[in-house]
């Protein structure tokens, strides 16, 4: 029973991580309808920025996170302005934009590898403390992963419901045509969403860097899990993306109860297959 409880805790922690990925990927995808595959390598870039500032410059972790978030926002903005926007202006079909995104993904991933090498990057982390909740244990990083989700979800909710820009984002997600008709500047909006989504993605990236270290290839799993969380939850729904992330984390972790750990990542994909076969609109989508 203790094992199940610990697996549950781990599932919640990993679920928070996937939920953040789903939230940030889904924000960009839902609003702009761009399959931003390069999300993965921008995620890795943020982690490397954090590593550079803390391990190379010796600044505290807070500064590293700030650098990671800033790098993420800047890279997101640039990727929209320099890559996606020109394609949009040329009227390219979604497929072409997706292929271009794959191109950017592989360019950034390999550029990171060439500049920084392929070894695992670690940051001088604060002494890990262990928190006990009954028989289950949390490390401080795990607690931070849970907390980050709560803070970001609250912040994003406030932003989307209280600000003019946030309401425009929601309008754009619900009905892009209508958004254009009522005079929302969709280009500025997309740029903002790319910056915001990439900035949010930087947080789980930096947390994983502290927890497991970072490599040039860390981005693939991030974009993949973010994408899966969005599809499992239901495209176009941020609530669904968070729920999808938790569903993935929990299923994956509880699966370990009976399944050897090397198959852990495969469980998520089986979930995805099942969802697409039997409930293609997503588990948590309120409307089609």
Partner 1 sequence: MDYILHVLVMVALFAILATSFNLLIGYSGLFALSHAAFFGIGAYATAIVALKLGLPFPIPLLMGLAVTAVAGVVVALPALRISGDYLVIVSLALQVIVIAVMLNWTGLTGGTDGIRGIPRIQILGASLDTAAKFLPLAVIVAALCYWGSWRVGASPFGRALKAMRENEAAAQAAGKNIVAMKLAVFAIAAALASVAGSLYAQYVTFISADSFTLELTIYVLAMVILGGTGNLAGSLVGAALLVVLPELLKFVDLPPDIADKLRQLFYGVLLIVMLRLRPQGLLPESASAHHYLAPAVRPRVDRPIAAAALEGRGLEKRFGGIVAVSKLDLALAPGRITGLIGPNGAGKTTAFNLLTGFIEPDAGEVAYRGRLLKGLKPHRIVRLGIARSFQDLKLFTRLTVLENVLVALPRQRGDHLAYVYFTPWAVASEERANLGRAMAILEFVGLQQRAAEPAADLSYAEEKLLAVARLLATDAEVLLFDEPLSGLAPNTLREMQPIFRRLADSGRTLAIIEHNLDVIRELCDTAVFLDEGRKLAQDTPERLMQDPVLAERYFK
Chain positions contacting partner 1, by CB under 8 A:
29, 35, 83, 86-87, 90, 92, 94-96, 98-100, 102-107, 109-111, 113-114, 118, 220, 224, 227-228, 231, 235, 262-263, 265-266, 269-270, 272-273, 276-277, 280, 287
Q: Cα separation of 15 and 149, whole Å?
A: 10
Q: Within 10 Å of residue 217's Cβ, how many Cβ atoms?
A: 15
Q: Cα separation of 124 and 58, whole Å?
A: 9
Q: Cα separation of 58 and 123, whole Å?
A: 10
**Residue 222 Cα distances to 20, 25, 81, 208, 228, angstroms:** 10, 9, 23, 10, 10
φ and ψ of 199, to 5 deg: -65, -40
Three-class DSSP category at 130: strand
Closer CB to partner 1, residue 60 or residue 117?
Answer: 117
Closer CB to partner 1, residue 131 or residue 263?
Answer: 263
Shortest approach of partner 1 to residue 163 CB, angstroms?
Answer: 28
DSSP string, 195-236: HHHHHHHHHHHHHHHHHH-B-TTHHHHHHHHHHHHHHHH-TT
Closer CB to partner 1, residue 82 or residue 128?
Answer: 82
Closer CB to partner 1, residue 64 or residue 249?
Answer: 249
Q: What is the DSSP letter of 121?
A: B
Three-class DSSP category at 175: coil
Three-class DSSP category at 139: strand
Residue-level length of the chain: 288
**Max CA distance (Å), the chain:** 59
């Amino acid at each position: 029973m203790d094992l199940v409880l610990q697996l549950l805790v781990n599932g919640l922690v990993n679920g928070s991580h996937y939920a953040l990925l789903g939230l940030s990927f889904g924000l960009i995808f839902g609003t702009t309808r761009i399959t931003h595959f390069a999300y993965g390598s921008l995620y890795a870039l943020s982690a490397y920025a954090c590593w550079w500032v803390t391990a190379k410059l010796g600044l505290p972790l807070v500064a590293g996170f700030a650098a990671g978030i800033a790098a993420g926002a800047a890279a997101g903005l640039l990727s929209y302005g320099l890559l996606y926007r020109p394609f949009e202006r040329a009227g390219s079909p979604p497929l072409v934009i997706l292929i271009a995104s794959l191109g950017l993904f592989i360019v950034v991933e390999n550029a990171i590898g060439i500049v920084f090498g392929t070894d695992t990057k670690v940051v001088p982390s604060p002494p890990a403390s262990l928190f006990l909740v009954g028989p289950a244990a949390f490390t401080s990083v795990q607690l931070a992963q849970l907390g980050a989700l709560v803070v970001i979800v609250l912040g994003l909710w406030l932003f989307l419901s209280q600000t003019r820009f946030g309401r425009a984002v929601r309008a754009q997600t619900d009905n892009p045509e209508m958004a254009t008709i009522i005079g929302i500047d969709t280009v500025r909006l997309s740029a903002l969403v790319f910056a915001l989504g990439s900035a949010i993605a930087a947080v789980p990236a930096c947390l994983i860097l502290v927890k497991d270290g970072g490599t040039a290839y860390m981005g693939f799993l991030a974009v993949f899990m973010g994408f899966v969380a969005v599809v499992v939850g239901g495209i176009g729904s941020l609530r669904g993306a968070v729920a999808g992330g938790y569903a993935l984390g929990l299923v994956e972790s509880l699966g370990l109860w009976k399944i050897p750990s090397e198959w852990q990542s495969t469980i998520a994909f089986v979930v995805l297959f099942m969802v697409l076969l039997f409930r293609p609109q997503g588990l948590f989508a309120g409307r089609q």
